[in-house]
Structure 1
Amino acid sequence: MLGTDFRTGSPDWIDLGSHDTDAAAAFYGAVFGWQFVSAGPDAGGYGFFQKDGKTVGALGPLSEEGAASAWTTYFQSDDVQATARDVAAGGGAVRAEPMDVMGEGWMGQFTDPQGAQFAVWQPAKTKGLEKASEDNTLVWVELHVADPEAAIRFYQGLFGWRFQEMQAPGMTYRVLSIKDGDQQEGSFGGVAPLRGEGEEPRWVPYFAVADADVIATKVQENGGSVLMPASDVPDVGRIAWLADPGQAVFAVLKPNPRQE
């Protein structure tokens, strides 16, 4: 289960790039109760989403020309420079060369061979998210691509991930786990085939919630949209796919049975 004891390949950070950070902060505050805290005058408008004073995500203005508002998932790397070389060797692209982030850690931003964007974080002073797998925090990350098997081979080359296949309605789902320790305890996400024409390859963050239907209603009331209404997935929980007013896609999950 996704936690904050980060190891190689763990999702350790998420942030939202937005055209309107004030509106985004207000939206997620209304939906999840998050508070936005600026990272300071030298951070270029970047700051942190917090729950109970603990960081659960981040928000900043878009810096790439033509970029659409989106959530980015970061995975822990012990050597961001080596990861960048491995991305290129595996057929991916380096969107932002590895850089030191004010002594907090090293960051690199990439695109996998099928077009899904992701990033890595090599921690220094900032280790990563401070809360996960509780209500209104990150609980799962999911990759949607045309060729799941090829995607897994690519990411295994970067992080050594393991996977297990399970049958889901209409598809084979691959559950991902980090390379060390118990495979079930180390699971953090999954890989699914694209759901239909027009869906873009992407990583989608899932946030744990107490009631997926209530959250979907809050999203609509605050200018967002429901892409997939709340529905039950056997042995998993109740899931809804949503988008914020800037069209950044995310999902919510009420786990069943409840996982704490």
Structure 2
Amino acid sequence: MSLVDSNQPDSTPTWIDLDVPDLDRATEFYRALFGWDFHTAAPTAETGGYTTCLLRGRAVAGFGPASERDPAPGFWRMYFATQDCDATARRVVDAGGTLTQAPLDIADRGRVALAVDPVGARFGLWQGRTHPGCRIVNEPGSLVRNDLSTPDPDPARDFYTALFGFTLDGNDDLPGLDFTFLRRPDGHEIGGIFGDPAAAASAWQTTFEVADTDAVAERAVAAGGAAGEPTDFPYGRYAEITDPFGTAFSVITRPPSRRE
């Protein structure tokens, strides 16, 4: 799937956004990195002035003003799709998570809630109305996947299977690593959970598709960010990027055989 014109199935990562302390600096960096354009809406009580990141005129991510509403420095915030934000928010609590923002309408765009899971990873819920979420995925310059990295993976796996009915599959491609795929009840893979004893904190980590990992890493450094050494691994050529505010994410160039 590349173009998205309707709400994704429940439990699918459907939107990402980032609270930024300097909007001009953020737009400069991510335009240089991914070729995004931007549209900033007039400030409202709900959003405080929200900027939509656009690829070919279609929404792929968002920037909000840095605030104390859901402090999660260092990572993009990921939202799971839900047809009923209120019911899913209640299940978050029943499964052992905590709500940091109760369900709230964002005009006619949708209904949102913010939460933290039992291992401390933050995420959102999104019930789309006029805004289904990312309108392009799995293409260069857009979201390709999210994975939870945590030093304490077992409670995380228990929580997300209870919350969304995910099934867990091992990964033979990465022997020796504590990684499990998360699959929706229909069998579709939505991401994974990586048990990393060295992880400083638990977080959902975002990966963007790119056409040339090495070129994007070079552009990140030239635009004022940082980049790790591009590396080949079973799913493509990968690099870790850090933006000028310290936000960490990854980029990958997948071979044709790995593209959806």
Instruction: Give the TM-score of the pair, scaled to structure 1.
Output: 0.91
Match in the other structure for 2:230: 230
Q: Quick one: which of 154, 157, 182 aligns to 1:152? A: 157
Distance 1:15 1:51 in 2: 15
Query: What do the CA deviations read for 1:138-186 (whole angstroms, capped 9, x no partner)?
Result: 0011100123232122012221122211141531321122222xx2xx2
Q: Quick one: which of 174, 178, 195 aligns to 2:184? A: 178
Query: What do the CA deviations read for 1:41-86 (whole angstroms, capped 9, x no partner)?
Result: 4342211100110111111112217933531000011221122222
Per mean C-alpha deviation after superposition, the further-off stretch among 109-118 and 213-222 is 213-222
Q: How does 1:1-260 map to 2 (within 5 A)?
A: 4=4, 6-42=8-44, 43-64=47-68, 67=71, 68=73, 70-167=75-172, 168-180=174-186, 183=187, 186-194=188-196, 196=198, 199-226=200-227, 228-234=228-234, 236-256=235-255, 257-260=257-260
Per mean C-alpha deviation after superposition, the further-off stretch among 57-66 and 125-134 is 57-66
Query: What do the CA deviations read for 1:83-107 (whole angstroms, capped 9, x no partner)?
Result: 2222222221111111011121110
CA RMSD of aligned residues (A): 1.9
Distance 2:2 2:150 in 1: 21
Aligned residue pairs total 253
Q: Say which SS state the counterpart of residue 238 (structure 1) adopts.
A: strand
Structure 1: give runs of 5+ residues left out of the alignment: none
Instruction: Give the TM-score of the pair, scaled to structure 2.
Output: 0.91
- Identity %, equivalent residues: 34
Relative distance call for 1:65 and 1:104 in structure 2 (3 A) is closer
Distance 2:148 2:75 in 1: 14
Relative distance call for 1:138 and 1:195 in structure 2 (3 A) is farther
**Could you tell me whether the CA contact under 8 Å between 2:142 and 2:208 is conserved in 1?**
yes
Query: What do the CA deviations read for 1:203-255 (whole angstroms, capped 9, x no partner)?
Result: 011100111111111111111112x4211112x11111111000111110111
Distance 1:166 1:98 in 2: 35
Read off the aligned partner of 2:20 and give its amino acid letter: S
Structure 2: give runs of 5+ residues left out of the alignment: none
Per mean C-alpha deviation after superposition, the further-off stretch among 127-136 and 170-179 is 170-179
